[in-house]
Structures are given as structure tokens and as C-alpha cells.
Amino acid sequence: MRKPFISANWKMNKTIEETEEFINSFLPMVKDITAVDILIAPPFTSLQAVARLLKTTNIKLGAQNVFYEEKGAFTGEISPAMLLSAGCSHVIIGHSERRQYFMETDEIVNKKIKTARKNGLEVILCIGESLKEREENKTFEVLDRQLTGSLKDIDLNGMTIAYEPIWAIGTGKTATKEQANEAHAFIRGWLKKNREGAEKLRILYGGSVTPESIESLMSESEVDGALVGGASMKPDSFAKIVTGAIK
């Protein structure tokens, strides 16, 4: 059985002071939980502060992005070595907002994954379709294209997949548990056909996950956890999602 995995993605939110306040409130709420892997991905500016506060816990630290070169004249970018030095074990790559606002292609995502894995960072790869693509029954076509491009020449070691239907991100709309499980089953089927180790890989759902929806989502066989945005920014809300993920 795959261990549930819940990740917080704070996006461009929280100062260092707000981050410290969150962590100090959140830790006592989940201190006895061992049945769920927990990860927090704050902004770059808060990474070291979170690393310090999580040092004696089992909670993992992740970054929201990474560049595909290891060093050089790339103003404003962050390398894998910098993330490792700040205390990160994971990085989120290919989030729909990166694809939409920063024009990241599957090719760019693929290069980022290769560099991250080469340097020992575990990767949460985000994939998912838009509302238009779902309405045109192209969900599986989009997932196939993104998996093929993003995972080119990459094995599943150190990988997690996050299925995040774009139409459900930050909209308050959550895919039904059946829709989520159907997409996850397609992803796992693709992985089984094309890679070794597909049964062990965890597939997370991302898209307006709440304390009220997590138990229903986790009741599905192919949903192994969640990548949580808005609901991860309040300690009590995120703690309820973590506890709700225990199968």
C-alpha cells in the first residue's frame, strides 16, 4: 500500500514572519501523525526559516520551482544546489501556473526534472487539462502528451505525479472523486506501460482540495494524496487535510 502524501504549495504568499507563525502553529497539530508524508513548499525567501523549524520533525521541505542549469548568468533563477543548501528534499515542477504564465513547455519541464534528479532532489511533476480540453474530451490526450514530453528519458525513481485539472485550481471547483480516480488510473496505466515501478509511484490530486473533500478523494484507490494550494495556508485547515488523508 502506498503511503499517503500531502503537500502544501503556498505559491506567492507569506513573508518569513508569516511563515514562522504558520509553522509554529501547525507543528503541534500534526506532531503525532506518522501515517502520512507531509511536505511544505513555501516561497524561496522562506526556505531556510522553514528548514530550521522542521529540523527535528519528519515533515519535508520543497521548493516551488527550479532552473535547468546548475549555475551561470541566469538572473533571478534558482539552481538545484541552492535548494539543497537551503534544506530542500523536493521540488515542484511543471505547475499549471508555470506553464500558463511563464510559458513552460513539456521540453522545459523535462530539462528541469533531469537537472533536479541528477542533483538528488525528488520531484513532484504537475500535469492536467484545461476546462476547454475536458469539455472537448481531450483529457487523456493531454495527459498522454504531457507525460510523454515531461518524462522523456526519465525513470520513476524519486518521482511523484500531481494531477491538477486546471479548471479546478483556485476556482473552488473540485473534480469529483470519480473524475480524479479516472484520471489517476489513466496516468498509472500509462506509467505501467512505459516505465518500471509504476505501482509504487504516488499520484496526488491538486485542485481546490479542502478539509471537506479530502476524505472522499482519498477513498479512491488511485488517489495517493493531494497537492494543496489555498487550504494549505491556514494551519488548522491544512492539519485537517493531513488527518483526513489517513486511510
- How confident is the model at residue 168, as a pLDDT? 77
- How confident is the model at residue 172, as a pLDDT? 72
- How confident is the model at residue 96, as a pLDDT? 94
| 95 given a catalytic annotation | yes
Total domain count, the chain: 1
First to last CA, the chain: 10
Contacts of 110 (CB under 8 A, 6+ apart): 149, 150, 151, 152, 153, 154
Contacts of 232 (CB under 8 A, 6+ apart): 8, 9, 10, 40, 238, 241
Mean pLDDT by groups of 10 residues along the chain of 247 residues: 96 98 98 97 98 97 98 98 98 96 97 98 97 91 98 98 87 83 97 97 94 96 97 98 95
Helices (H), the chain: 16-30, 47-54, 80-86, 96-101, 106-118, 131-135, 139-150, 177-194, 214-218, 235-244
Tell me if 91 sits within 8 A of 65, measured CB to CB. Answer: yes
pTM above 0.85, yes or no: yes
Nearest-angstrom CA–CA distance, 202 and 175: 18
Domain that holds residue 238: 5-244
| 69 given a catalytic annotation | no
Closest CA to 104 of 118, 134, 125, 89: 125
Residue 160's region, left for phi above 0, alpha for psi from -120 to 50, else beta, is beta
Spot the catalytic one: 97, 104, 129, 164.
Answer: 164
C-alpha cell of 186?
489513466
Give the torsion through C-alpha atoms of 177, 110, 36, 241, to 10 deg.
-50
- How confident is the model at residue 237, as a pLDDT? 98
Q: For residue 229, what are the CA distances in angstroms to 13, 57, 139, 233, 238?
A: 10, 22, 22, 7, 10
Amino acid symbol at 123: V
- How confident is the model at residue 169, as a pLDDT? 75
Q: At 176, which CATH number?
A: 3.20.20.70
Length of the chain equals 247
Nearest-angstrom CA–CA distance, 30 and 15: 22
Identify the H or E element spanning 90.
strand 90-93
Nearest-angstrom CA–CA distance, 109 and 99: 9
Q: Residue 99 CA to chain centroid, in angstroms?
A: 14
Spot the catalytic one: 95, 97, 133, 222.
Answer: 95
- How confident is the model at residue 142, as a pLDDT? 97
